[in-house]
Structure 1
Amino acid sequence: MQTVNIHNAKTNLSRLVDQAAKGEPFIIAKAGKPMVKVVPIDQPASAQMRRIGFMVGQFSVPDDFDHMGREEIEQLFGANA
């Protein structure tokens, strides 16, 4: 991903925005420190794209999940609590 300093971004804003709209996001930095990331509005965040269904089929939840460890918990905290 391209990083541009703030002065360069101001000078070339139209070109950079056109590139971002075509799917080439960029980062604007000030004194070498990244400040903002410019991405197209309709492009979902990359974390959202990767996370949907990422664990499908990798584990299963036991049928007694809601009751697992009940006896131990009752012993620790008392059955009347």
Structure 2
Amino acid sequence: MPSPGPGSPQRVGVRELRDNLTTFLREARQGSAFLVTSHDQVVAELRPPPPEAAPRRQPGVLAGRIRLAPDFDETPPEMIDSMEAPLG
């Protein structure tokens, strides 16, 4: 049965993991790590996920600080003329 202490992960066989999966998952959630072995060979690791990184962008952080020109979405007439002009 699981009882790893702090430090290196405890080794656990596939059969023991399968028979006590709920217990191992509960302990992993609490910070324990396990090396899953089959025939004395490590085949997997069971450990808690890394802490989630804070998002790099915070929505709304620049609210009220960015201004767009009133004609931002208007296409200048000379640009329209050049796009509609015949080729060559």
Compute the TM-score of the two structures, normalised by the length of structure 1: 0.50
- Rg comparison, structure with higher value: 2
Structure with bigger helix share is 1
Compute the TM-score of the two structures, normalised by the length of structure 2: 0.46
